[in-house]
Amino acid sequence: MIGSLIVAAISMGIVYLFGCIGETIIEKGGNLNLGIPGIMCLGALGGAVGVNVYFKIFGTEKQVIVVLILLVTILFAFLFAALGGMIYAFLTVSLHANQNVTGLTLTTFGVGLMKFFGSNMNHDNFTTASNAIKKLFTFYEKLGWFGENFLSYGFLVYLAFILAILTGVFIKYTRTGLFLRAVGESPKTADAQGINVTAYKYLAILIGSGIAGLGGLYYVMDRSGGTTFVEASIEAFGWLSVALVIFSMWKPWVGILGSILFGGLYVLPQYLHISNIQIKLFDLLPYVVTVVILIITSVLDAKNSQPPASLGVNYYREDR
């Protein structure tokens, strides 16, 4: 049972992990993006559009080509989410709008857009698409517990893990990562050193948003099997992702563990033999634990878990 709990925890946690990786990249560049929930919704919408585009091109009769449908949905989810990020980047970086207000507006906008277009969309092929997306290794069942625990997931799960590790390496060890951190810590310094602050911020926001958007795609097309789309509480998952960034101390590697923990809390009630009424209470667990984590991290106030120094502050070169 523990084994299957972990499998379920991972499969839920990936939603948060994508959001966490994306937001970490954005925050390392000094922008606090409260639009992540909206961006994840845009990603989900993009994925859905991608599915419809795929079936329009390749028809519904033939066997689904896994590589192609993955490519198309990921591309669309990434693009839709990055487009949301583009709005945010333009408003906050170029037009110096307040980051929190812009983020909130983007969330309202993204959630509305997903639900509006999502409910007016052709859902016929979502289950077919989901079946293709959510299993990568078809032979895993033959490999016993090993297959069950390590190979039973869809491509996006492995992608998330790889992205988390790569992002960690990028931020910590590469030259570009160092420059990005400088932008987030002290844009003044980075600018005076000839680093193109605007370009770095834009790229971080676009790429980060794109990655976060994959969380929405993953939830709709993999985790929930293409069924719950419009009613999905992706917004809540978005906020948990933002909280996960704090929990992970801006380190995507820690984010992997955190996402499994958060995912575990979400699926836990199903593994406890409790009544439906009690399940309603256990549903609160992820939020309560997040609150506890927020409190603990702030009480500890550890030196190596501080946010980038200029997080949330817009940069205008001529400001004195």
Partner 1 sequence: MDKEVVVEFRNISKHFKGVYANKNINISLYKGEILSILGENGSGKTTLMNMLSGIYQPEEGEIFIRGEKASIHSPRDAISYGIGMVHQHFKLVDVFTATENIILGIEDKKAFKNAYDKVNEIAQKYGFEIDLKKKIHNMSVSEKQTVEIIKVLYRNASILILDEPTAVLTPQEANKLFSIIKKMREDGKSIILITHKLAEVMSVSDRVAILRKGEYITTLNTKETNERELTEYMVGKKVDLKLERLKIQASPPVLEIRDLQVKKDDGTRAIDGLNFYLRGGQILGVAGIAGSGQKELCESIVGLRHYNGYITHKGINIKGFSAEKIKELGIRMSFIPEDRLGLGLAPDLSITDNLLLKTYNLKKGIFVDRDSARKEAKELIERYGVVTPSTETPVKNLSGGNIQKILVGREIGSNPNVIITAYPVRGLDINSSYMIYDILNEEKAKNTAILFIGEDLDVLLTFCDKIMVLCEGKCMGIVHTKNTTKEEIGLMMTGAKNYLELEPEKKTGFAPDSLLSEEDWNNLEREGSKNDK
Partner 2 sequence: MTNKHHEPLFTVFKRNSFSTVKGIILRISVVVIAFIISMLICALVIKENIFDIMGTFFSGAVARPWKLILDSCLLLGFGIAIVPAFKMKYWNMGANGQVIMGTLIAIVIMYHTHTFAEQSGFNNFLILMLELLASITFSIIWAVIPAIFKAFFKTNETLFTLMMNYIAAGLVAYVNYALAAGKKEAQDVTILNQGGWMPVVIDKYFIPIVIIVLMTVFVYFYMAKTKHGYEVTVVGDSAPTARYVGMHTKTIIIRTLALNGIMCGIIGFLYASAINHSMNPTMCGALGFTAVLIAWLSSFNPLIMAGVSFGLAFLTIGTSKVSSVYRIGNNDLANVIIGLIFFSILISEFFVRYEVKSNIKFLNKFKKNKEVEE
Q: From the list partner 2, partner 1, none, which binds 190 (C-beta under 5 to 8 Å, kind-based)?
A: partner 1
Q: From the list partner 1, partner 2, none, which binds 182 (C-beta under 5 to 8 Å, kind-based)?
A: partner 1
> What 3-state DSSP class applies to 65?
coil
| Identity at 155, one-letter amino acid code | F
Under the criterion CB under 8 A, does residue 295 sit at the interface with partner 2?
yes
Buried b (16+ CB within 10 A) or exposed e, 123-141: eebbeebbebbbbbbeebe
CB of 186 to partner 1, least distance (A): 5
Under the criterion CB under 8 A, does residue 274 sit at the interface with partner 2?
no
The single residue listed with the structure tokens 């989410």 is: 81
Which of 8, 10, 34, 182 touches partner 2 (CB under 8 A)? 34
Q: From the list partner 1, partner 2, none, which binds 124 (C-beta under 5 to 8 Å, kind-based)?
A: none
Which of 113, 136, 151, 257 touches partner 2 (CB under 8 A)? 113
CB of 250 to partner 2, least distance (A): 13
Tokens standing for 90? 């333009």
Q: Using only C-alpha atoms, what is the Rg of the chain?
A: 20
User: By C-beta, is 148 or 185 nearer to partner 1?
Assistant: 185
Q: From the list partner 1, partner 2, none, which binds 209 (C-beta under 5 to 8 Å, kind-based)?
A: none
Supply angle C-alpha 185, 257, 282, rounded to 5. Answer: 115
Under the criterion CB under 8 A, does residue 87 sit at the interface with partner 2?
yes
Q: From the list partner 2, partner 1, none, which binds 175 (C-beta under 5 to 8 Å, kind-based)?
A: partner 1
Under the criterion CB under 8 A, does residue 61 sit at the interface with partner 2?
no
Q: Do 85 and 75 touch, CB atoms closer than 8 A?
A: no
* Cα–Cα distances in angstroms (integers) from residue 251 to residues 24, 27, 34, 73, in the given order: 8, 11, 19, 27
User: By C-beta, is 78 or 200 nearer to partner 1?
Assistant: 200
Which of 127, 281, 306, 309 touches partner 2 (CB under 8 A)? 281
CB of 318 to partner 1, least distance (A): 6
In whole angstroms, what is the distance from residue 241 CA to residue 235 CA? 10
Which stretch, 51-59, 70-78, 149-157, 242-250, contacts partner 2 (CB under 8 A)? 242-250
CB of 92 to partner 1, least distance (A): 20
Terminal CA-to-CA distance of the chain, rounded, Å? 60
The single residue listed with the structure tokens 């160092």 is: 178
User: By C-beta, is 30 or 154 nearer to partner 2?
Assistant: 30
Tokens standing for 53? 């585009």
Q: From the list partner 1, partner 2, none, which binds 98 (C-beta under 5 to 8 Å, kind-based)?
A: partner 2
User: By C-beta, is 115 or 181 nearer to partner 2?
Assistant: 115
Could you count the other beta carbons within 10 Å of the beta carbon of residue 207? 19
CB of 315 to partner 1, least distance (A): 12
Looking at the chain, list the stretches that DSSP marks H as alpha helix, in order from N- to C-terminal side.
Answer: 2-28, 36-58, 66-89, 99-119, 126-133, 144-146, 155-173, 175-185, 187-192, 197-218, 234-247, 252-271, 276-282, 285-300
- Quick one: 272 exposed, middle or buried, by C-beta within 10 A (0-12, 13-18, 19+)? exposed
Residues 202-241 that bind partner 2 (CB under 8 A): 236, 239
Binding site for partner 2 (CB under 8 A): 34, 87, 91, 95-98, 100-102, 104-113, 115-116, 119-120, 236, 239, 242-243, 246, 276-277, 280-281, 283-284, 287-288, 290-291, 294-295, 298-299, 301, 316, 318
